[in-house]
A and B are shown apart, each in its own frame.
Chain A
Amino acid sequence: MTKLGMALLAGVVFGIGLLLAGMTDPQKVLAFLDLAGEWDPSLALVMISAIATARFGFAAAEHRNDTWLGAAMQLPPRRAADRRLFAGSALFGVGWGLAGFCPGPALVGIGLGYGPAVAVVVAMLAGLCVAGKLPKGPPH
């Protein structure tokens, strides 16, 4: 139960962070991606402060074998970058730049009752399912 409570709390705090930062407004995200227009640097500060704060958690986690709740750490294994990562990141970036939604803000947008976010999430779920059926390629 505690594990579920911690995950719920992390989700709430993560979502409130996105809302406070204004990242739930796709126009603000697109204004960051528009270097040649009226550039809004806010998203860069969101990323920098999020990475700096998360660094404390991950640095502490690297030195631990188990979690606060006594379970095993389940961090993804460190792997080399490959073509699948490059292609996937490029497709994701194009989708991000087309409408200004990445997965976190799109889900929080549903909680806001924001129609465009609902459309993005429906299509995103379809994309996740379709890509899940693609062959994985050789193991790395």
Chain B
Amino acid sequence: MSIAWSAFTPWQALAGGTLIGAAASLLVLANGRVAGVSGILGGALRTRGRAGWQIAFLAGLLLSPLLLHAWLPGVGLPSESATAPTHPALSWGRLLIAGFLVGVGTHLANGCTSGHGVCGLARLSKRSLWATLIFVSAGLATVFVGRHVLGGAA
């Protein structure tokens, strides 16, 4: 392992993480709900028109780049092409398989990086600790196999 010091952005990471935690605190204290993005998305799909707060939260996520970029243009823009994937990790077929697995997996696990990784761990939930250890390990293993076993720049 070698640390990519030039890519490491500790202050932005801490500032962004603090905002994510503040948003999760706001949602639980004001509305009594867990800020788990996959669960909120699933809730919005299942209850259709009656899922008011879920749709409001998702609208906030979608609008956030517009609001931030009024102050800080370009922050958080991916380094890749905005319209067509150029990096091998982002071929269309791979994106569709990846998205499908994320959808099935987070539904079965009842949570993702936000619901288990942030909110669940902040609640000191053992279930969320298991979930987080497993999805991080699976992510590490997938990247290891893709980049260092099968080779290629992916």
Task: Decide if B138 touches A132 in the complex (CB within 8 Å).
Answer: no
- Residue interface bits B15-53, CB-to-A below 8 A is 1, else 0: 111111111111111111111011001100110000011
Which residues of the partner chain B approach A55 to less than 8 Å between Cβ atoms? 21, 122
A115 located at the interface, meaning its Cβ lies under 8 Å from any Cβ of chain B in the complex: yes
Q: Provided the pairs A36-B1, A111-B63 are in contact, do residues A19 and B75 lie with their beta carbons within 8 angstroms?
A: yes
Task: Decide if A108 touches B61 in the complex (CB within 8 Å).
Answer: yes
Task: Decide if B12 touches A20 in the complex (CB within 8 Å).
Answer: yes
- Alpha-carbon separation in the docked complex, A99 to B139 (Å): 10
Shortest Cβ distance from B22 into A: residue? A53
Q: Which of A1-39 contact B (CB under 8 A)?
A: 2-28, 30-31, 33-39
Of the candidates B15, B66, B110, the one whose C-beta lies within 8 Å of that of A76 is B110
A134 to chain B, nearest CB (A): 8
Q: How many residue pairs between the two chains, A and B, have CB atoms under 8 Å in the bound complex? A: 509
Task: Decide if B95 touches A129 in the complex (CB within 8 Å).
Answer: no
Which residues of the partner chain B approach A20 to less than 8 Å between Cβ atoms? 12, 15-16, 19, 68, 75-76
Q: Provided the pairs A57-B28, A103-B37, A124-B102 are in contact, do residues A111 and B62 lie with their beta carbons within 8 angstroms?
A: yes
Q: Which residues of A contact B (CB under 8 A)?
A: 2-28, 30-31, 33-43, 45-58, 60-62, 64, 66-69, 71-76, 78-81, 84-104, 106-116, 119-132, 134
- Alpha-carbon separation in the docked complex, A101 to B87 (Å): 14
- Alpha-carbon separation in the docked complex, A80 to B130 (Å): 10
Main secondary structure of the interface of B (DSSP, over half): helix
Shortest Cβ distance from A27 into B: residue? B79
Q: What would 9 more interface pairs be, CB under 8 Å, given A13-B26, A88-B104?
A: A11-B60, A14-B64, A45-B17, A53-B18, A68-B29, A89-B105, A96-B113, A99-B94, A116-B85
Q: Which residues of B contact A (CB under 8 A)?
A: 1-4, 7-10, 12-35, 37-38, 41-42, 45-46, 52-54, 56-68, 75-85, 87, 89-90, 92, 94-110, 112-114, 116-119, 121-123, 125-127, 130-132, 134-144, 146-148
Top 6 nearest A-B pairs by Cβ distance? A11-B60, A127-B103, A57-B25, A93-B138, A53-B21, A21-B16
Task: Decide if A67 touches B108 in the complex (CB within 8 Å).
Answer: no
Of the candidates A14, A27, A52, A116, the one whose C-beta lies within 8 Å of that of B35 is A14
Q: Provided the pairs A14-B60, A15-B63 are in contact, do residues A124 and B26 lie with their beta carbons within 8 angstroms?
A: no
- Alpha-carbon separation in the docked complex, A40 to B2 (Å): 9
Which residues of the partner chain A approach B122 to less than 8 Å between Cβ atoms? 51, 54-55, 57-58
